[in-house]
Homo-oligomer: A and B are copies of this chain.
Amino acid sequence: MAPRNKEIWLPDDPDKPRVVVIGAGFAGITLIKKLRDKPVNLVLIDRNNFHQFPPLFYQVATSGLEPDAISFPVRKMFKGYTNFLFRMASVEEVDTSAHRIYTDEGFVRYDYLIVATGSVTNFYGLAQVEKHAIGLKSIRESLDLRSLMLENLEKAAITTDEQERHRLTNVVIVGGGPAGVEMAGALAEYKKYVLPKDYPYFCDETMKIYLVEAGPRLLPAMSAAASGTTLSDLTGMGVEVMLQTAVKTYDGSTVDLGDNHQLAAATLVWTAGVKGNFPAGIDKAGILPGNRVAVDEFNRINGQPNIYAIGDVAGMPAAGYPNGHPMVAPAAIQQGEHLAANLMRQINGKPLQPFVYHNKGALATIGKKRAVADLGRWHFKGFFAWLIWSTVHLLSIIGFKNKLFVGLNWLGSYLSYDKGNRLIIRKYHRPMP
């Protein structure tokens, strides 16, 4: 908490308008890239000094990738930009009347404000679950999960109690969207290829993997064909898929599914939902379901001419999307690109253009050589879908070195069936029971 009158040092050009972007996710960085060399002062604020790549968090969590390979320093990304300043700070409040953003490090003045603050895990008010489960929304959570699962395996190697060994190694994944499906598939491979090498004294029944989904099918945002393939593939890989099942509570040891149905598991991964995440002071007049800030077709919040929201946090009702576009990277990137052009139109006194979302399809990987893809009217599965998935993700990762290292990791695990980053570098600190 900084003193209210402390201003953050921003040595930029006083003759140009200052555009402040909060959030270094896909939406924010895309917008900034499009405004390079434009006659504006760009300021990016984020609590982290890096951009992260959420689609591969599950691979960090399951020891398949090092965290540094899917994180990219913000300052390196915008090296050589002469109209750009980065400031690492946590935003506490926005004062839209004074045009100021208050952070833990001081305040920043803005002429245009772009809220690109993304989303956080939605526990739907289940406080005990929130306390004991781990989400998959940051590189830190991914590392927490990696540590927790590996620590539990080590504890299972120490105990003489067979029941306790099952509880320590079992993992319950909640949420049948892409994150849950991909996590379940990667863990099933871990169980099949790594566990027998690392823990040869464990019995075959050690480590059960449950995938719990409240709705009637996995990957509800994809085609029925994709859902069916995913269900049969995961089941064939040994994952116990439980549809139309909801978690009531979790104490860090036992998952309560209601109807006297309980699962003993020391790890619960929560991927069952996200919600928009916006700073205090943003007009809440039009909050949409999913806690997203309502924006008009130009991404303006409540019609204000100098405050915009883009990405997961922005809810733009549109045909087919009454509560806003899907909370996925392509929508964030498209909004970032579009708003960059609109901002220049606004500054140049030209009329704004409405945003139109182009749905390029959906992908999910189930395991090595298995994935599902819905691309327009075409549906793919198996090896070809897996090649599409791998290519799209590799091309989307920022930076040559990160692409190379992720690619080499994938090649290595493709050839060896190994997951070599099983390191407990920081122990996970469990909440008190």
Q: Which residues of A contact B (CB under 8 A)?
A: 7-9, 11, 48-50, 66-69, 71, 73, 75-76, 79-80, 85-89, 105-106, 139-140, 143, 150-151, 154-155, 157-160, 197-199, 201, 399, 401, 404-405, 408, 412, 418, 420-426
- How far, in whole Å, are A48 and B201 apart by their CA atoms in the complex? 20
Least CB distance, A1 to chain B, in whole angstroms: 14
8 nearest CB pairs, A to B = A66-B68, A88-B154, A75-B198, A9-B160, A73-B422, A50-B423, A66-B66, A105-B158
Contact (Cβ within 8 A) B408 A420: no
Contact (Cβ within 8 A) B420 A76: yes
Least CB distance, A410 to chain B, in whole angstroms: 12
**With A160-B7, A198-B75 known to touch, is A68 a contact of B424 (CB < 8 Å)?**
no
Contact (Cβ within 8 A) B197 A79: yes
Residues on B with beta carbons closer than 8 Å to the beta carbon of A80 = 197
The residue in A8, A412, A421, A425 that gathers the most chain B C-beta atoms within 10 A of its C-beta is A425
- How far, in whole Å, are A405 and B424 apart by their CA atoms in the complex? 19
- Out of B150, B199, B423, which one reaches A71, CB within 8 Å? B423
Contact (Cβ within 8 A) B197 A140: no
Residues on B with beta carbons closer than 8 Å to the beta carbon of A105 = 155, 158
- How far, in whole Å, are A153 and B46 apart by their CA atoms in the complex? 15
Contact (Cβ within 8 A) B160 A425: no
**With A158-B106, A412-B401 known to touch, is A49 a contact of B422 (CB < 8 Å)?**
yes
- Out of B87, B420, B423, B425, which one reaches A158, CB within 8 Å? B87
- Out of B75, B87, B106, B426, which one reaches A426, CB within 8 Å? B426
Q: A67-B425, A75-B199 are in contact. List 16 more A-B contacts (CB 8 A).
A: A9-B157, A9-B158, A49-B422, A50-B424, A50-B425, A68-B421, A73-B198, A73-B420, A76-B420, A85-B201, A88-B158, A88-B424, A89-B158, A105-B155, A143-B425, A401-B408
Residues on B with beta carbons closer than 8 Å to the beta carbon of A89 = 158
Residues on B with beta carbons closer than 8 Å to the beta carbon of A426 = 140, 426
Least CB distance, A81 to chain B, in whole angstroms: 10
- How far, in whole Å, are A408 and B201 apart by their CA atoms in the complex? 37
The residue in A50, A399, A420, A423 that gathers the most chain B C-beta atoms within 10 A of its C-beta is A423
Residues on B with beta carbons closer than 8 Å to the beta carbon of A67 = 66, 68, 423, 425
Q: Who on chain B is nearest to A80 by CB?
A: B197
- How far, in whole Å, are A143 and B139 apart by their CA atoms in the complex? 15
- How far, in whole Å, are A68 and B139 apart by their CA atoms in the complex? 14
Contact (Cβ within 8 A) A49 B150: yes
Residues on B with beta carbons closer than 8 Å to the beta carbon of A399 = 420
Least CB distance, A346 to chain B, in whole angstroms: 28
- How far, in whole Å, are A336 and B178 apart by their CA atoms in the complex? 48
- How far, in whole Å, are A50 and B159 apart by their CA atoms in the complex? 20
**With A89-B158, A425-B140, A425-B143 known to touch, is A76 a contact of B401 (CB < 8 Å)?**
no
* 13 sampled A-B residue pairs with Cβ under 8 A: A11-B201, A49-B150, A49-B424, A67-B423, A68-B68, A68-B423, A71-B425, A76-B418, A88-B154, A88-B158, A105-B158, A143-B425, A426-B426
**With A68-B66, A89-B158, A159-B9 known to touch, is A48 a contact of B424 (CB < 8 Å)?**
yes
Residues on B with beta carbons closer than 8 Å to the beta carbon of A66 = 66-69
Contact (Cβ within 8 A) A158 B79: no
Q: Who on chain B is nearest to A11 by CB?
A: B201
